[in-house]
C-alpha cells in the first residue's frame, strides 16, 4: 500500500515537472497586442466589396471590415490609398511557373561519379545553380486555377534534390 502511494506521488511529481518553462525569453517579455487599422482600402471578401473601407486587425484576427468603423485612438494606422485587400491562402509547396523536373531512372547500384558536365557538386541531388527568377514563366491558366480555389500567393521552387537552389514568392494577380 505504501509503495503504491509513493508511486502515485512520484508519478504526479514527474508529470507536473514537464509543465515548467525551462527556457528564457529573448528580449523584453510583453503582452502588448496593438490594433492595426488599414484605411482607404478596397476590401474584397467572400460576400461583398467595400470601397474606401477600414480593416481592423488585432492579434492576427480581423476585428472589423467596413466603411463606418470606429478606429480606436491607440491603433496603428496605415493609409493604403485605394490599394486592394483580398483574403487568400498561401501555397508553400508548388512548382508554379518553373520547368517540370524529369524523373530519372532509379539505379540499384551506387554511382561514384557525377554525370553532370562542368563544375558541380559531386552529389547530383544538390542544385545551387537553379535560380527561380531566371527560369520563371508566368502561366495565367494555372494562376486562375489557383485563385479559383482560394490561393493568392505561392512559394514556387524546383522539386528536385536535397538542396534545390532558390525559390520565389509569387502573387497570382491578373
pLDDT attached to residue 14: 65
Do 98 and 165 meet the contact criterion of CB atoms below 8 Å apart? no
Domain 35-85 of CATH type 1.10.10.10: no
Q: pTM here?
A: 0.60
pLDDT of residue 120: 78
Q: What is the 3-state secondary structure (H, E, C) of 49-91?
A: EEEEEEEEEECCEEEEEECCCCCCCCCEEEECCCCEECCCEEE
Question: What is the C-alpha separation between 91 and 150, in angstroms, rounded?
Answer: 10
Residue span(s) of the chain under CATH 2.30.40.10 come to 35-85
φ and ψ at residue 169, rounded to 5 degrees:
-95, 115
Cell numbers placing 63: 476585428
d(CA 131, CA 157): 9
pLDDT at 41: 94
pLDDT in tens, the chain (174 residues): 777 877 787 777 666 666 566 677 777 777 889 999 999 999 988 788 999 999 999 998 999 999 989 999 999 999 999 998 888 899 999 999 988 887 777 777 777 777 777 777 778 778 888 888 998 999 999 999 998 898 999 999 988 888 888 999 999 987
Q: Would you say 144 and 81 are in contact if contact means Cβ atoms under 8 Å apart?
A: no
Residue 19 contacts by C-beta under 8 Å, 6 or more apart in sequence? none
81: left (phi over 0), alpha (psi -120 to 50) or beta: left
Concatenated DSSP letters of 112-166? -S--S-SS--SSTTB-TT--HHHH----HHHHHHHHHTTEEEEEE----SSB---
Alpha-carbon gap, residue 154 to 94, rounded angstroms? 7
pLDDT at 61: 92
Amino acid at each position: 500500500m505504501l509503495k503504491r502511494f509513493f508511486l502515485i506521488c512520484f508519478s504526479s511529481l514527474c508529470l507536473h515537472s514537464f509543465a515548467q518553462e525551462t527556457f528564457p525569453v529573448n528580449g523584453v517579455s510583453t503582452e502588448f497586442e496593438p490594433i492595426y487599422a488599414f484605411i482607404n482600402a478596397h476590401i474584397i471578401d467572400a460576400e461583398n466589396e467595400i470601397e474606401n473601407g477600414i480593416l481592423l486587425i488585432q492579434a492576427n484576427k480581423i476585428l472589423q471590415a467596413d466603411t463606418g468603423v470606429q478606429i480606436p485612438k491607440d491603433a496603428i494606422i496605415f493609409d493604403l490609398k485605394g490599394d486592394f485587400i483580398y483574403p487568400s491562402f498561401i501555397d508553400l509547396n508548388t512548382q508554379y511557373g518553373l520547368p517540370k523536373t524529369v524523373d530519372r531512372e532509379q539505379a540499384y547500384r551506387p554511382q561514384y561519379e557525377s554525370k553532370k558536365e562542368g563544375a558541380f557538386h559531386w552529389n547530383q541531388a544538390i542544385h545551387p545553380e537553379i535560380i527561380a527568377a531566371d527560369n520563371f514563366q508566368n502561366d495565367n491558366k494555372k494562376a486562375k486555377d489557383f485563385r479559383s480555389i482560394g490561393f493568392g500567393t505561392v512559394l514556387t521552387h524546383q522539386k528536385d534534390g536535397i538542396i534545390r537552389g532558390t525559390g520565389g514568392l509569387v502573387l497570382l494577380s491578373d
